[in-house]
Structure 1
Amino acid sequence: MSQKIPVGILGATGAVGQNYIYLLQNHPWFEVSYIAASPRSAGKSYREVVASKWLLGANIPEGVADLIIEDANDASKALGRCRFVFSALELDSKDEIKALENAYAALGIPVVSNASAHRWSEDVPMLIPEINADHISVIDAQRKTHGWDKGFVAVKPNCSLQSYMTPIWALMQAGYEVKRMFVTTMQAVSGAGYPGVPSLDMIDNVVPYIGGEEEKSEKEPLKILGKVENGKIVNFGGLKVSAHCNRVPVINGHTACISLEFGDKKPSLAEVEKIWREFRALPQELDLPFAPRQPIIVRSEANRPQPRRDRDEDKGMAVSVGRLRECPLFDIRFVGLSHNTVRGAAGGGILNAELLKAKGYLA
């Protein structure tokens, strides 16, 4: 009998749900045992629903292909069939997603979510484990507030933030105050899901608008960098962010161009590079399978990082940085890159679940 933890996937037929299924095959801790999607898919095998729109690799993983899809709107269906769920729900209303994720948690089924519905709930941790692993302590207050015993909700942030927040945090951890950040993102089409952006809008084009993305990019860093006080996450108040977000004709890999202004103490370029190369955040004894061995990979070439060359570094979970140089308006500027459907989506959710298990929240 398998000793792996049985897990469920909500929204299993969508692009993020497929990524979860693909990345979780052969995972040493977790095994997909339950899948759920919209009512129109319920009662059918995963193979039957997804075969014509499978996006990853040659074949659907055999361990999941013949599972019968359940209705994700009925949380009780998951009882006894999985210990927690990954949420990749794609509903029109954030309120509907929030209510549904809460329904699973109320039944004692923890929810590790990719959806944005709970990102601004004060008692829900929005995790990048290398930065704010300590935020999981707010789960205790969350359970108390809702009267939940074993259930809870934890989320991951917007996918594009993964390409630059860890390098910025590394500098802050080294004692350098970051006062202002100007960021321009060039985001891959896979970030729009499937079928995503129409080809005639995307080929030979750049779309300088992604709905809600700039607001997320300017607000979410403040929660990620915040602290837990009295059972709530209090946003960080010492950083101003200005963001431009663009959709570009790249399949996978979000790129960001960042300029930073520091406080009175300013690092040299050599010191910045040293901090990034030496940055390690998660204790080795946790031995999280999806954690990158080197969270920040520094490229010294003048034309790197590039999505096609660098997005898959360290299981697609590392952040690649390059083009570090002085900024004539602020202090320094650089380019960051991460794999948006791995680190920025399903892989990031899996790493969050690994951290929660290691800390005793997924028994």
Structure 2
Amino acid sequence: METNQKMKVGVIGATGMVGQRFLTLLEDHPYFEVSVLAASARSAGQTYEAAVGDRWKLSIPMPEKYKTMIVKDAADVSAVAAECSFVFCAVNMKKDEIKALEEAYAKAECPVVSNNSANRWTPDVPMVIPEINDAHLAVIEHQRKRLGTKRGFIAVKPNCSIQSYVPLLTPLLKYGIEEVVATTYQAISGAGKTFREWPEMIDNVIPFIGGEEEKSEQEPLRVWGKVENGVVVKAEAPIITTQCIRVPVVDGHTAAVFVKFKNKPSKEEILNAWANYSGKPQALELPHAPKQFIHYFEEDNRPQAHLDRDLEGGMAISAGRLREDTLFDYKFVGLSHNTLRGAAGGAVLIAELLYREGYFN
């Protein structure tokens, strides 16, 4: 398809925080045009503005073009699929319900790019950080055979927490990473909330985020896995242990990371690996690809969520405080924007890659 003819896209779960992010990112997109909005049955039939009501959660205002669009019921798969070429999915439902819904869209020949976790461990569903494991898109062919589709498939993005350290560890894998300890300090928007809705987070830290530590330890191994016989086989190493903590920050997940190597690199080698690391999105100059994937700060007090999360449209990864450690080989701090790189922005980047690689044809 020619890029001057925009591809019609739907957003399922359009009223939630990630759905709202999708709409702002797609407002003036060079490849895609939002043609249909879908949400729960209680929002269906209303204008988007009425369905959202006072639950608009972003600091930027609701784009005018969506206000009068009538919201469809996400469960009405054929009606939604008829109006678009593919959908972004960011629904708030039980895992098995999400899995069934996403598969129903795929079987209706409407590809799904999902922000949800339901299909992250489905063996033939690619879970992609486009700069790192675009090769995993090859399993889509196998998935289509399983689903019996010509065009339909599901592709997902990994958890927001891992985006603050997996991109920083990936260019260092060549030195034989053996052990990783990561503590993440996660923004409240990761729970889809604002301070207005969650006042008990003000002046508070909560040392638990349900399910997050397991995702943070296991999902990197799937991202680093390899494709065998049409499925993704997860990597066996390194060993990763994490603690995930909710902190009173609006946006931006920070990670404090400790790493042990088989072949310890010099500090210079690490900094060079970060500075020179790029992937398919940079080569293709995709609209939401950061020009420089990893930014390293020399200052002792960086990266900071407030100052650095919006770097390159919230799509770059920031790093700082790289130094040798007494127990491990090195320690450093990473930062990513959890609703941009970590959620809607990451999914839009996957869709841009799928589009350019011909998967939507």
TM-score normalised according to structure 2 size: 0.97
Aligned to 1:157: 158
Determine whether 1:243 maps to 2:245: no
SS in 1 for 2:110: coil
Q: Does 1:304 align with 2:302?
A: yes
* Equivalent position of 2:348 in the other structure: 350
Identity of aligned residues (%): 53
Aligned residue number for residue 71 of structure 1: 73
For residues 244-291 of structure 1, the C-alpha deviation after alignment (integer angstroms, 9 at most, x for no partner) is 00000000000000001111x110111111111111222645221001
Change (3 A) 1:94 1:283: closer
Residue 56 of structure 1: how far off its partner (Å): 2.3
Q: Tell me how far apart the structure 2 counterparts of residues 88 and 341 of structure 1 sit (CA, whole Å).
A: 12
Please, which of 304, 318, 338 is the counterpart of residue 316 of structure 2? 318
Could you tell me which amino acid in structure 2 is paired with residue 16 of structure 1?
A: V
Alpha-carbon spacing, 1:321–1:346, altered in 2? closer, same or farther (3 Å): same
Match of 1:34 in 2: 36
Q: Secondary structure at the match of 1:180?
A: strand
Matched residue, 1:145: 146
CA contact (8 A) 1:190 1:196 kept: no
Higher mean alpha-carbon deviation, 136-145 vs 192-201, is at 192-201
Identify if the C-alpha distance between structure 1 residues 32 and 307 changes in structure 2 by more than 3 Å, giving closer, same or farther. same
Q: In 1, distance between residues paired with 2:28 and 2:240?
A: 40
Letter in 1 for 2:299: E
Task: Note the C-alpha offset of 1:358.
Answer: 1.1
Q: Deviations over 1:308-333 (max 9, x none)?
A: 00000011000000000011111111
Inter-partner Cα distance in structure 1 for 2:11 and 2:199: 32
CA distance in 2, matches of 1:285, 1:212: 35
Does the Cα contact within 8 Å between 1:206 and 1:246 map onto a contact in 2?
Answer: yes
Equivalent pair of 2:6/2:31 in contact (CA under 8 Å): yes
Cα drift, residue 107 of structure 1: 0.5
| Structure 1 segment 1-363 matched on structure 2, within 5 A | 3-91=5-93, 93-172=94-173, 175-194=174-193, 199-263=198-262, 265-282=263-280, 284-363=282-361
Native 8 Å contact 1:253 1:307 kept in 2: yes
- Listed one character per residue, the Cα deviations across residues 215-248 of structure 1 (whole Å, up to 9, x for unaligned) are 1001101100000000110000021100000000
Q: How far 1:194 moved relative to its partner?
A: 3.1
Deviates more, 1:45-54 or 1:141-150: 45-54
Number of residue pairs matched? 358
- Structure 1 residues 27-84: Cα deviation after superposition (integer angstroms, max 9, x where no partner): 1111111010000000001011124221224532122111110000111112331100
Extract unaligned runs of 5+ from structure 2. none
Change (3 A) 1:55 1:81: same
> Could you say what the CA RMSD is over the residues aligned between the two structures, in angstroms?
1.4
Quick check: 1:209–1:245 contact (8 Å CA) kept in 2?
yes
The separation in 2 between residues aligned to 1:266 and 1:13, in whole angstroms, is 48
Q: How far apart, CA to CA, are the structure 2 residues paired with 1:117 and 1:298?
A: 33
The 8 Å contact of residues 282 and 289 in structure 2, kept in 1 or not, is answered as no
Q: Residue 204 of structure 1: CA displacement?
A: 1.5
Distance 1:58 1:262, change over 3 A: closer
Which segments of 5 or more consecutive residues in structure 1 lack a partner in the other structure?
none
